[in-house]
Structures are given as C-alpha cells and as structure tokens.
Copies of this chain bind each other. A is one copy, B any other.
Amino acid sequence: MAEITEECGIFAAFSLNADEDVVPFVYNGLFSLQHRGQEAAGVALLSNGSIEVYKGLGLVNQALREIEGKSPTSNMVLGHVRCSSSGERSVVNVQPFVGHTAHGDIAIANNGNLVNSRNLREDLTKRGTLLQTRTDAELILASIAKNSRLDMQSAISQAVSQTVGAYSFVLMDSNSFYALRDPQGMKPLCVGRLADIYMISSESCAFENCGAEFLFEIDPGELVIINQEGIQRQNVLSIEDPALCVFEYIYLARPDSILAGKSVHQIRRALGRELGREKPLDADLVMAAPESGTSAALGLASELGLPFDIGLVKNRYVGRTFIRPDQKTRQNALRLKLTPIAPVLKDKKVILVDDSIVRGNTSRKTVKLLREGGAKEVAVYIASPPFKHPCFYGVDATNPKDLIANSLSKEEIRQAIGADILEFLSLEGLYRAIGVSAQEICSGCFSGKYPTVIDI
C-alpha cells in the first residue's frame, strides 16, 4: 500500500509575552513557505490551555479562510503547508495533527518521509493503537503517545529511536515547542526571533518575510525546546554523517534561503558555473527554464561569457509544475504557462538551462516552444546530474518509472526531449559546486546511494 509522500513546510511561533498574538506571523510564515506545499494548510494554536485546529485544502489564503473569519488569537501557534503526490486530497490528512495523550494535548507538524513506516505502523496497530491517517506525522505522534509513562522529552527520544528516514518536526504541547531533525538532517528546520517571539521554520526565507532575525539551523539529531524559559538545545540522537537533501539546493528551497550555512541562490549560480566549466559551449544566448533555472543560467552565462536573455515568458498567474499532484494537470498547465519571445530566439543558437530533469515532459515541451519561437539550435544544460533513482525521503519521485533518466541514456533523453545538445552536471561537479563531499549530503536520487536503509 502506497504511503503518502510529502513535501511540506512548517512554521511555528511562540511569544514569551502570553498576550501577544502570533497568528499573523504564522499565517505569513506559511505564505512564505507556500512553494513547499500548495495542496493544503493547517494551523494549531493554544487557546485557554487546549489546542484548537484550523485546516483546509488549497493555498494558504484559501485553506485558512476560517481562521481569517474567526480571528482566534494565541501566543503559541504551529502551522503546516502540504503537498502530496498521491490522490488522497482529503482534509483528514492535513497537518497539524492533534493528539490527546497521557501528556495532554500535543500537536505535530512534520516534513519528510520515514522509510520504515510499514514496520512502525504494524507495531503500533498490533499493540492496539488506533491510527487514523497514512501520514508519518501521525505515526511519530502515536509513537510518542505510546510512551505514556515517560516524560515528554524522553517520550520523544524513545519514539525517534525507532524511526528511520527523513523527518523534521515540531511538536507543541500546552507549554513548549519541541523541534527535532532526523540524525542526518535530511530536511531543513531553523530558528528565528523577533523581539519576544521565537519562530521555527522549514526555511530561513520566512524569517525575512516576517521581519525576524535568523538565529540558527537546528543541527541533525538536535532537539530544540522553546518555552517560557527560552530556548534549550540538546542532542538526543547519535549524530551520523549529515545528509541534507541535495534537491533542496537544486530546486525545492527558495533561492533566498540559507541551508547548511550556504545561500541557495549562490549554490545554484555555482552549479551553473560548474556546468559551464565542465561543458563549455558557444551560443548566441543563455536562457533559463522559467523560473527554477534562472540562478544556474546566470552562473553559466557568466562563466561562458555569453549574453543572458529571456526567451520564454511565464504567465504569472499559474503556479509551478513539478509540485502538482497529477500528471494531467501538469500537461495542460504548460500550454498556457510559457510563451516564446520570437524576436529573441529567431535564428539563434540557444543554451536552455534547467535545474533538473525528472520526468522530462517539461523539457520536451519547452524545447518545442523554443523551436516554435524560431530558435535555430537548442542546447539543454541541466545544472544537476541525471535523476536516476527514486527518492524515499519526501520528494515526489518514488516511482522509478516516472524518472526519465532511470530507463533512458543521455542520448536517448536528448532525443526524447528533442534537444540538439544535452548536458548534465557531473556528480563530482555537483559536490564541488556545493562544497561538500559525497558523505556530507544525500544525493541518492543521482547516485543511488541512500544514507539510510530503506524498508518500505
């Protein structure tokens, strides 16, 4: 049975001043993380000692319409945006989840994908625990609730000692936030502050949008507790080699975020630069596959000394492609999304830079559009290696069949997308551009080497 793969964003805020309402910050924080999940959003907040939840399907401003209507206030709020690849768009699966446990009310919001969820699920149901969703967030919450005789912190430590895979979650009880990243730090999570308000976010960009200061990234395996006594940090899991998802750098994160101390935009420029060094080429112009290829394209154009221009215009009234649930929507959307600018392209040799190729459909259509726009020759430059292997940690690419590079060679892909030239960044170039070794990052999608056992 297929588990729900999740790409998600978390934003939480806690004010030391019990009278201060942090709902607007969480609303805006979620809005800033909207690119991490467009399918559903939810907010849990502490209200008179118990936890209330507001949830809905759609973008933040749609999904949280109820919270706009009722205007609850709270100094302790946990929010989540979500995208799922499966068809289960039910409100039942929308986070945060709230559990009524021996530790009182607990809410959870999680990002990432466990790879031993089947076992965990079986253990829990066999011992008679009721599970009501197919999400990892509920599994983690149920695993904590199971440890009813331990104190909260021990209950968490004990629970996550059983979980394998990628997770970054924030728990909220009636006093504290507990934020934890898996021992390899596969999914990002960081802490910010604005005066009396502590904030936890999947990405640092949300702090900027809220006017807050970026304090630190939570370390892999680190548990951060935030409550009236301030912030407490402690390692609760034996740390392993770090394995931040490389796809966060390549595509998922916003360019204005900082991950593992590095600027996402700068890394993307570096990827383009590296690609230029590896595969020099002359051309009339360099352009980006809108919009995710722009940073890399700028790096490549500068490296090769070629002019950068805009060859395709994107209708700003559509969202981005990769993250939508079903294949069909993806295809229809593109038709209206991009238009070639013929005067730019006419009779030109063009280098089209994209961040990655996953399914290949977008590339094929984009190349076709460029030719319709008059381009004489189209070289497709991908600022990452071939995406050959499924991701089990949360990127919507669990099925090898969906991955064009899984079954086709570079030359076959070139033909499939209709390009004159196709080049990928090498795996070494990827590490070089990011400034890490293969042991310091998860690049399982490219290398097939996963940082954990996979037991799905």
Contacts and interface: CB of A to CB of B under 8 A. Distances in A.
Contact of A339 (B102, B121, B208): B208
A349 interface: no
Contacts of A133: 100
A310 B294 contact: yes
Contacts of A145: 125, 128-130
A295 to B, nearest CB: 7
A160 to B, nearest CB: 16
Interface stretch (A27-35, A231-239, A429-437): A27-35
B208 A340 contact: yes
A175 B344 CA distance: 39
For chain A, what secondary structure do more than half of its interface residues adopt (helix, strand, loop), or is it mixed? Answer: mixed
A283 interface: no
A255 B313 contact: yes
A101 B131 contact: yes
B313 A55 contact: no
Given A54-B90, A302-B307, 7 more contacts: A28-B335, A55-B90, A102-B128, A129-B129, A209-B336, A265-B310, A316-B320
A343 B340 CA distance: 32
A415 interface: no
Contacts of A258: 343
Contacts of A169: none
A21 interface: no
Q: Which of A145, A208, A256, A344 has the most CB of B within 10 A?
A: A256
A87 to B, nearest CB: 10
Contact of A35 (B255, B269, B316): B316
Contacts of A134: 100
6 contacts: A205-B313, A209-B315, A209-B339, A263-B342, A269-B309, A316-B319
Interface in A125-182: 125-134, 138, 141-142, 145-148
A408 interface: no
Contacts of A336: 28, 31-32, 209
A31 B315 contact: yes
A440 interface: no
Interface residues of A, number: 75
Interface in A173-214: 205, 208-209, 211
A209 to B, nearest CB: 5
A298 interface: yes
A236 to B, nearest CB: 20
Contacts of A90: 52-55
A249 interface: no
Contacts of A146: 128-130
A125 B97 contact: no
Interface string A25-55: 0001001101100000000000000101111
Contacts of A121: 100
Given A90-B52, A315-B31, A340-B256, A138 B130 contact: yes
Nearest to A100: B131
A41 to B, nearest CB: 12
B31 A317 contact: yes
A241 interface: no
A90 to B, nearest CB: 6
A130 B140 CA distance: 10
Nearest to A205: B339
Interface string A89-112: 011100001111110000000000
A50 B3 CA distance: 13
B266 A343 contact: yes
Contacts of A101: 125, 130-131
Contacts of A35: 315-317
A148 B128 contact: yes
A317 B100 contact: no
Interface in A292-332: 294-295, 298, 302, 307-310, 313, 315-317, 319-320
